[in-house]
Chain A
């Protein structure tokens, strides 16, 4: 992997801190320089990095830490705790409606993984919450988007509502919801076309769907490999739609997934799931602490702390 060198340096920085017992301000500065680099290489937004590093540095240079006998260990712990905290602390559950059906909308940039994740989510909630899902094909633009969703529906044996690609997505969403009620489905997941956050026409369309179906959740689906632009995208979708949560896809790759941190920070919205493969069962609830480890590339940071 490409980041091995960096992870090594980071671990060196931390382990020398750890061994030190008493640490000096300079020790902390040196370690924080490595942390900064690690976060940037992980695609955490540079502004978020700056804020993070400053806040950790402040805490770490506090009296108690510098004076304590295991100061090094404390600094490592501060980094880790701050990062998990930023990631959202606790794991967050999906919102369901008391009066069925519960309605979800999948939104995001082109190719992020909306359609696949719609299927995964339906499958997941059918299993874990015993829900009866229906998928709605509201992407009328991408060639064969409907075929894709229908194939996924067939693979999962979950009904897919479609009206072809000549009817407006708003109309499809409305009719789909009616149909779901008629069929006593208690979960409706609307797949929408990928779009740029700066595409006013298509963003308006999403607002109209939102108004028409009043969803319990609007998921912003984000590719974990996204770079610095993640904040622009997330901020803009959130501004225009007030998204409720985020799903991070393609985490089965070797990306560090620093976009997660940036998105969490700029939107304040929880990440609820991660996509970890192309198969329809590759969806997992999101664990903030694991993500914190991953971003710094320190799978065994916890053991480091424990051993210290």
Chain B
């Protein structure tokens, strides 16, 4: 298994040992960290191992995890509270490719905000996918948030506009805007998203206060493309990394953080409304080498 292999690898550790570094590279590749970032971590680890004259497994483990955390935090602060509007309505826009978990993440965050005593409204900006509006409505019911929607096939920008008006009128604290899944290479769909974004910007200064790119942890190297393309049409301020309850490690967020400076803000660990967590680079690095540190 993964853990055993890692333990074996650590047990065999010699900082001059090429085999060790090759195994380390495999492990990182296996976590979807990507070739370039993997090489960078491996090189850095080589260097640190020499500088610190590492001899023991424990030291190697510690340095490895620390190296990763440092590299990540170089470009991204560990955890930053998401951006809120101190004077009124906070608007959060959720974007991403198909099926990653946008709608569910909205439900989870809505639940959390409501638990904290806020009023929350949801905008059903996915008017395209079969059952998308009903899905958000079921969630709205469960968590106790009003849902603003139109009929299937309606104009998503109009729904957003309508929701912004209603949220302001009703003095709602948070408006969470759902959008249809779209692949980043579909120009017309990305244009549509840009339009929704413009409507929000125009109606409320400084909004959207956060634009969260929802990423499925099982995604491989394509996630980097996703981040780049979505960043071109919206101002992505953070990532919600979903489905971390599976066996995928989500290592690509490391490369995204380094290359694009987009921090992970939330982690999804299941399908129920309580399964949203804050991201911690430490936990994440440990997670890549799970059970490594007892």
Contact = CB atoms under 8 A, between A and B. Distances in A.
B12 interface: no
A30 B142 CA distance: 58
Interface in B180-198: 181, 183-186
Contacts of A227: 32, 218-221, 223, 248, 251-252
Interface residues of B, number: 48
B12 to A, nearest CB: 19
Q: Is the interface of A mostly helix, strand, loop or mixed?
A: loop
B247 A232 contact: yes
Contacts of A112: 99
A196 B185 contact: no
Interface string A41-77: 1110110000000000000000000000000000000
A40 B35 contact: yes
Interface stretch (A94-102, A139-147, A180-188): A139-147
A143 B220 contact: no
A145 B97 contact: no
Question: Chain A CB within 10 Å — which of B132, B220, B251 has the most?
Answer: B220
Interface residues on A, range: 35 or more
Contacts of B26: 46
Interface in B94-114: 97-101
A162 interface: no
B219 A226 contact: yes
A223 interface: yes
A284 to B, nearest CB: 16
Given A2-B228, A111-B101, A43 B243 contact: no
Contacts of B152: 151
A6 B132 CA distance: 38
Contacts, number: 148
Nearest to A46: B29
Contact of A226 (B31, B131, B218, B228): B218
B188 to A, nearest CB: 12
B220 A2 contact: no
A117 B130 CA distance: 12
B128 interface: yes
Contacts of B35: 37, 40-41
A111 B216 contact: yes
A254 B225 contact: yes
Given A1-B225, A111-B100, A144-B135, A225 B246 contact: no
Given A228-B29, A229-B32, A229-B218, A223 B99 contact: yes
Contacts of B137: 144
Interface string A109-136: 1111101100000000000000000000
A255 B222 contact: yes
Contacts of A150: 131
A43 to B, nearest CB: 3
Interface string B21-39: 0000010011110110000
A283 to B, nearest CB: 15
Given A109-B246, A253-B185, A228 B31 contact: yes
A254 B32 contact: no
Q: Is the interface of B mostly helix, strand, loop or mixed?
A: loop
Contacts of A212: none
Interface in B139-154: 139, 142, 152
Given A225-B219, A229-B32, A148 B131 contact: yes
A229 B29 CA distance: 11
A287 B102 CA distance: 32
A46 B31 CA distance: 10
A148 B130 contact: yes
A256 B99 CA distance: 18
A269 interface: no
B274 interface: no
A109 B244 CA distance: 12
A294 interface: no
Given A2-B225, A198-B246, A254-B184, A111 B98 contact: yes
Nearest to B270: A196
Interface in B211-230: 216, 218-225, 228
B248 A229 contact: yes
A250 interface: yes
B171 interface: no
Contacts of A152: 130
Contacts of A239: none
A41 B221 contact: yes
A151 B130 contact: yes
B129 interface: yes
Given A143-B135, A196-B246, A225 B97 contact: yes
Given A43-B220, A227-B219, 14 more contacts: A2-B228, A110-B101, A112-B99, A147-B134, A148-B130, A198-B247, A223-B218, A225-B222, A227-B248, A229-B247, A233-B218, A253-B97, A253-B184, A255-B222
List of 8 A-B pairs having minimum Cβ-Cβ separation, nearest first: A227-B220, A148-B131, A111-B99, A43-B220, A151-B130, A143-B138, A144-B134, A229-B248
Interface of B: 26, 29-32, 34-35, 97-101, 128-132, 134-135, 137-139, 142, 152, 181, 183-186, 216, 218-225, 228, 243, 245-249, 251-252, 271
27 contacts: A37-B35, A42-B221, A43-B32, A43-B221, A111-B243, A112-B99, A113-B99, A141-B271, A142-B135, A143-B134, A144-B135, A144-B138, A145-B131, A147-B134, A148-B129, A148-B132, A149-B130, A226-B220, A227-B220, A228-B31, A229-B32, A229-B246, A229-B249, A250-B97, A250-B98, A252-B186, A253-B184
